[in-house]
Amino acid sequence: MKRIVLFSPLMLRSIKVKEKEYTLYDAACDNLALRVQPSGAMSWVTWQKHAGKVRRVTLGRFDALSLEDARLHANSDTLTDPMDARKMLLASPPSLTFAALARLFLTSKTGVYSEGGIASFTIYLKNQLLPAFGSLAVNRITTANVAQWFYAFSKQSPGGANQAIGHFTTLMNWGQSHGHLPETFNNPARPIKRNRRAARGRVLSADQLRSLAVTLNDAPSRYSDAVDAIMIILLTGCRSGEILRLKWSEVEDTQLKLTRTKTGPRNVILTAPVKARLEARKKLVISEHVFPSRHNPNQPMTTISGAWKTLKRLADLPEDVRLHDLRHTYASHSIMSGESLAITGKLLGHKSARSTEVYAHLDAGHLSLIADKVSKLVVKAME
């Protein structure tokens, strides 16, 4: 079994020689390892693919090549001299600082990202990314810098570290695509493996969905706005904020053309049940907002959390079921219907399948049917 550890100066000083040769693999760089021999000799090694075959390549002696230079060379596909990576980095003039790039990014996304999306991004910037990288020129930030910060933060919050490094990558990609960074720029966070995440939230079972449907159909009229919003969230997979601040100008014949979401503008396909509910609302609502505030029709509703708390209690749902779990339920039923993570991610407005993976819950009843089906196939094969 591969021994994977996070290389750091302190860890490397504590390495012990053993009777047999062994190899340690760097958690911060997929392609770097340290070979430790019984004689006490230690060397940096990496792997290169040539003519369809993978061969091990020695980068240099442990005492002659720093950890940072070894990582730089292991991440390079073309350099032959371990010191060339360091020379190339220092030869190019410093780019704009990370803090300056962050300011440009936030300015460009104001009015495009939702207020909640901007706020979340800003929190990670202020608390983590700017203290770690703010004063550094972007092209002076190395994989070693990012790895040291990422694994330290991971000890406190594995999920938070994943979210923060995702924001870091978003900034790098945006800077490159908008000409603030050269086309040859390589994201220093690319080699770093994110922390393994379990699926977040929960998915409502078939029985719970039926119970919720009965409760919504029989709900008192004072909950009519919340009932409509809940049904639209459940049938589209949208975030609650996207639906509550929806304007009639964003409602088209076949789709919702959302102008402000967590990740920017996106379109949402309208199905017949959603269309019918929206058409019924349009006959009753006199406002530019689909869900106007009852206190000020010129403003949208900001929350239905109180109504949701009451309705889920009447539906006998677990206390910890969140409104956002309706989005999880939509995603899970998409996957259970046979759709791929990529297609489900498109429906949810995700930029990558990795974001969709955390929504991939499966109903216990559905898993039971699959297990039974597989069992029968195995028995048949054995016969």
**Residue pLDDT, tens place only, 113-156:** 777 778 888 999 999 999 999 998 888 888 878 888 988 888 88
Is the separation of the CB atoms in 356 and 344 below 8 Å? yes
What are the structure tokens assigned to 111, written together? 């009015």
Q: What residue ranges define each of the domains in the chain, with the CATH number in brackets?
A: 3-91 (3.30.160.390), 98-177 (1.10.150), 206-367 (1.10.443.10)
Choose from 4-18, 24-38, 291-305 the range with maximum mean pLDDT: 291-305
pLDDT of the residue at 380: 57
**Structural tokens at position 49:** 């693919």
Q: Is 258 left (phi over 0), alpha (psi -120 to 50) or beta?
A: beta
Per-residue pLDDT tens digits for 234-292: 888 888 888 899 999 999 888 888 887 776 787 888 888 888 999 999 988 889 999 99
The residue assigned the tokens 């009015």 is 111
292-345 pLDDT tens trace: 998 898 999 989 999 999 999 999 998 888 888 888 777 776 655 555 445 555
Beta strands at 42-50 and 53-61: parallel, antiparallel or unpaired: antiparallel
| C-alpha closest to that of 67 among 3, 7, 150, 141 | 7
In this predicted structure, the answer to whether residue 190 has a pLDDT above a threshold of 50 is yes
pTM assigned to the model: 0.49
Sign (positive or negative) of CA dihedral 123, 175, 259, 253: negative
